[in-house]
A and B are shown apart, each in its own frame.
Chain A
Amino acid sequence: MNRRSFLKATTGVAATLANGMGWTRNMRAQATSEEEVVEISLGAFYPIGRWYFDPIGVHIQPGQRVRWSGRKWGGSVTAFHPSHDNHELRIPEGARPFDSGILIEGDNPRARFEWVFEEEGTYDYYSRRQERLGAVGRIVVGSPGGPGEEPIGYGESAGRALTYPDVREVFSWLSSEKIVEQGVIPYPMERFGKTFPAQESHF
């Protein structure tokens, strides 16, 4: 199997995983060629109460295309940008902010969103309705850099939207160095999974 067919096979596997278990390290693929499309799924796994992007971190090259596939109703792929819900800027200064809109909802059966990343640097993004649950991801294009390398929440003092604790938790773990080193980082279910509070009010 050559490298291209390997990549094709692994991305296919990632797209068809149905129960949210995501990629494994054996499947990982470091996509470096411009024509290779990197696949990321967006979904929920109810037993751990999480919405997530899988893989959560990907290293690509400038000009490369990324395709997100929604597996559940109501997610989005939205860049951290002041024009998006007053979020702090976490993509390169000159880069266009991307926003898929809400995927797979009533009048919008569209489940996929694609974006070609031209500018080098670090891109952070989130899912609008699930951000509070830590539904964020990072793309490193070429070498890490730009506002995405600032500490998470750096814009709060300038009046940008506050950062959710679960988002802080994810980005404190998801470093660009790790992404570059590993190429693809699967969503770590065990690390970020939650259980429903056992001591919910029994009134």
Chain B
Amino acid sequence: MTKKDKVGRREFLKDMTLAGAMAAVVPVRPSPLPGMSPGGLLQANRGGDWVRFGHDLHNTRFNSVEGQLGKSNVGRLWQKWHFETEAPIQTTPTVVGNTLFFGTMAGDQYALEAATGKEKWRFFAGYNPEPGAGNQGVRSSAQYEDGKLYFGTGLAKVHCLEAATGEEIWQVQLDDDPMRNRAQIFCSVAVHRGRLYVGTSSSQAQAVCLDAGTGRIRWRFYVVEKSREGGGSIWTSPAIDETANIVYFVTGSLKSYMPPDPMLFSESMLAFDADTGEMLWHDQVRAADTFDLDFSCHPMIFDAVHPAQENEVRKCVGAGSKAGFYCFNRYTGQRYWKAMLTSSGPSSGPILNSTAVAYNRIFVVSNAAPVRGRSAMSVTAALHAYTGDIMWWIANPAHVRGPVAVANGVFYQGFDDGTLEAIDVNSGERLFTHKLPGLIRGGMAISNGTLYTSTGDTLGWRPGGDKKYGVYAFSPDGQ
């Protein structure tokens, strides 16, 4: 951690308290779009902050209280500041008051001033350069909760820091043998009621609940019984239904096509009692496949309203895999609908968290694998949350392999070619386009009139190159 520009805990907390107080008096805005409910009937937002990967515990990636940046001024977005890094970024910025947190693939966790981009502190969480370490630094987006910052690392550890200073409070290693199991945490944590939920990617993946105060493991579920049969990685953040006290995880593919024992939990949606870890239901959408069709997008919790009958509501949890978006009854596991916009494949479909839910719609970016003689392309669509029907879709010029976001009637996405776009959620009309000097892999956060995003790189990145990366802040006219 650098001492430079270190902010005192009291000052930081004051800042946080102010942000919290402001948030408390800001009413939840009614939907700006006639005829649509705001992002599901449940609301898990807190002020204008973007406190975690999925914005809220439901993983909507929708800031429903954002009122400053919207359709009327998104076309005037202008770069406000830029913070340069030596390493690529694959985390969604966490924005709390005037502090922005992000991690890098070199293993650093940063805190910046959200208004200026000035560094507050830096914490090195570790990096293992050894080939096969399965390590890509910090790709797990941090969650801010009650003065603490929580995140996972490519070394399969979870860290808890003092958010004001970057001082470490605890860390815990989740895998017995991270090298042998090629374990890492790409999944972003979910913290709620003093518990932290996270999944590992490994030859023996786990869904884990920790005590947020101490890091002690409260319960743990192994997706596969033995590491040698392997796989079922949890690549993305769990979602929490705080009303029913259920935590949802999705899992990836197996490493073996014909495993010697039954494998019931790979490529599955898993629902657990958040307190005890008891499995309430699970649905394995494919028993095994050789196309690597992971669930690679976060589970999202939403209440879907019938297109014609407002009182008819489905209690849903949905998630995107490389073979399409699946929507379930979140209490029974009943499958409601599935939609796939492009052909299924290892780099196809909604991938790497490129989904969001808002305004009774599921926003999905679906990649199509390159076909001989044709470059990669993708489509973005708004699906009706109740039926899965396509409401509009647009063709994209490149693949999207990062999280997307929604706020105040605008959908945001970032491409592999560095293009950042803002799109009207009603029509699919493009409202703003800007080219960044690198791949957008960490997605974006919209908070208090500002859009924060970053540039990343592919998994082949190693420390020591000349290439630069960074975090970017955009606001109307750069103000």
Contact = CB atoms under 8 A, between A and B. Distances in A.
Mutual binders A and B: yes
Given A49-B289, A74-B230, A196 B255 contact: no
B203 A73 contact: yes
A109 B339 CA distance: 39
A196 B346 CA distance: 10
Interface residues of B, number: 33
A54 to B, nearest CB: 16
Interface in A48-92: 49-51, 72-74
A203 B256 contact: no
A196 B259 contact: no
Contacts of B181: 106
B346 to A, nearest CB: 4
Interface in B337-356: 337-340, 343-347
Given A46-B291, A49-B289, A49-B291, A198 B343 contact: yes
Contact of B290 (A49, A73, A107, A109): A49
A202 B338 contact: yes
Q: Most chain-B CB neighbours within 10 Å: which of A74, A107, A109?
A: A74
Given A46-B345, A47-B345, A107 B180 contact: yes
A172 B347 CA distance: 32
Contacts of B323: 196, 200
Interface residues of A, number: 28
A167 to B, nearest CB: 13
Interface string A12-39: 0000000000000000000000000000
Interface in B223-281: 226-228, 230, 255-260
A5 interface: no
Given A106-B228, A200-B344, A128 B290 contact: no
B258 A47 contact: no
A153 to B, nearest CB: 19
A74 B347 CA distance: 22
B257 A73 contact: no
Contact of A50 (B228, B290, B335): B290
B292 interface: yes
Contacts of A107: 180, 228
A132 interface: yes
Given A46-B292, A107-B228, A196 B343 contact: yes
A53 to B, nearest CB: 15
A129 B345 contact: no
Dominant secondary structure of chain B at its interface with chain A: loop
Contacts of A51: 257, 290
Contacts of A157: none
B293 interface: yes
B180 A129 contact: no
Contacts of B204: 106
A73 B338 CA distance: 31
Interface in A90-149: 102, 105-109, 128-133
A197 to B, nearest CB: 8
Nearest to B253: A46
Contacts of A130: 256-258, 290
A44 B255 CA distance: 10
A149 to B, nearest CB: 27
A74 to B, nearest CB: 4
Interface in A182-203: 195-196, 198, 200-203
A203 B345 CA distance: 20
B258 A105 contact: no
A106 B292 contact: no
Contacts of B345: 46-47, 195-196
B369 interface: yes
10 contacts: A49-B289, A130-B257, A133-B290, A196-B289, A196-B323, A196-B345, A200-B286, A201-B338, A202-B339, A203-B335
Given A46-B292, A195-B343, 15 more contacts: A47-B347, A51-B257, A73-B230, A106-B203, A108-B228, A129-B256, A129-B257, A129-B258, A130-B258, A130-B290, A196-B289, A196-B293, A200-B344, A202-B338, A203-B337
Interface of B: 180-181, 203-204, 226-228, 230, 255-260, 286, 289-293, 323-324, 335, 337-340, 343-347, 369
Interface of A: 44, 46-47, 49-51, 72-74, 102, 105-109, 128-133, 195-196, 198, 200-203
